[in-house]
């Protein structure tokens, strides 16, 4: 169980024990509280995204609410992992060499979704950007599962080729 907890929290014995790490460990939450925070945040993110999708059917301000709630849902889901790893480790992992492009794409599509829905008021573009946001968030999320990206690439090339 301890090995699983270390893997999920991102603890690495080889990482330097700097000031930020020591501070994070000194003020850390218990493991059960971290799991509860993760689950609550993840579920809230999912609920916000579903509510946002329902707002798309509303006339008038439905597009604005859709863009806001869908993006807030993804941000909340992404923030749920802060409970498992802690903020500093999460930021380091988000921008390491294997996932910095996915992280940047997620943020860019979130911003473009909000701009399209709140400023440009383009329904088709906003929906397209939400789909891109979903796909980039999925690609970012599977980067935390060993060999998952390779499996997805092989599956896609099998169906496309």
Report pLDDT digits (tens) over 10-30. 555 544 555 555 545 545 788
Rounded to the nearest integer, the mean pLDDT of the chain is 86
Read off the pLDDT of each residue in 89-109 and give the average, rounded to a whole number: 94
* pTM exceeding the 0.85 threshold for the entire prediction: no
- What span, in angstroms and rounded, lies between the C-alpha atoms of 125 and 47? 23
Instruction: Name the band, by pLDDT with cuts 50, 70 and 90, for residue 161.
Output: confident
DSSP characters over the chain = -HHHHHHHHT--TTS---HHHHHHHHTPPPHHHHHHHHHHHHHHHHHHHHHHHHHTTSSSTHHHHHHHHHHHHHHHHHHHHHHHH-HHHHHHHHTSTTTHHHHHHHHHHHHHHHHIIIII--HHHHHHHHHHHHHHHHHHHHTTSTTHHHHHHHHHHHHH-
- For the chain, the domains span 30-160
Gap between the terminal Cα atoms of the chain: 42
Instruction: Name the band, by pLDDT with cuts 50, 70 and 90, for residue 84.
Output: confident
Report pLDDT digits (tens) over 48-83. 999 999 998 898 899 999 999 999 999 999 999 888
């Amino acid at each position: 169980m301890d090995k699983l907890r270390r893997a999920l929290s991102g603890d690495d014995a080889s990482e330097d024990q700097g000031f930020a790490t020591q501070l994070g460990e000194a003020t850390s939450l218990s493991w059960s509280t971290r799991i509860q925070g993760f689950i609550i945040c993840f579920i809230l993110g999912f609920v916000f995204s579903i509510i946002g999708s329902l707002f798309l059917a509303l006339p008038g301000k439905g597009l604005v609410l859709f863009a806001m709630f869908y993006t807030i849902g993804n941000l909340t889901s992404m923030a749920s992992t802060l409970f498992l790893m802690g903020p500093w480790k999460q930021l380091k992992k988000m921008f390491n060499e294997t996932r910095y492009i996915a992280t940047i794409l997620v943020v860019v599509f979130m911003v473009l979704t909000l701009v399209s829905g709140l400023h440009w008021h383009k329904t088709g573009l906003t929906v397209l950007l939400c789909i891109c946001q979903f796909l980039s968030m999925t690609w970012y999320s599977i980067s935390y599962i060993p060999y998952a990206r390779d499996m997805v690439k092989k599956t896609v090339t099998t169906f496309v080729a």
